[in-house]
Structure 1
Amino acid sequence: RLLSELFPGATELYERVAANREQWTKVSHKFTIRGLPSNNSLDFLDQEYELL
């Protein structure tokens, strides 16, 4: 956030990184329950996770 305050041009980058972090925080609970996919694929990022 500090960079976006110092450099207004960095605001979009900050917002995208913050949104990305929020989404990974939401799915981390699922990883704890289910574990990571065995094939190292990102296919698990399907609509189910978009609904979180």
Structure 2
Amino acid sequence: MKRLLISALAGAMSLAAFQAMAADKVTLQLKWVTQAQFAGYYVAKAKGFY
């Protein structure tokens, strides 16, 4: 019984730690000229991460 109570409390605490947060709107400004160092941002935008 004690083990069940401890595991139930641990499960409840782990679920409380992973609450969903609202996504904030951000703006990313890169340099004027497209450069290879920003390729990750362009790929992420094309894949819909932004």
**Same fold per superposition (TM over 0.5):** no
Higher helix share: 1
- The structure, 1 or 2, with the larger RCO (C-alpha pairs under 8 Å, 6+ apart) is 1
TM-score, length-normalised on structure 2? 0.32
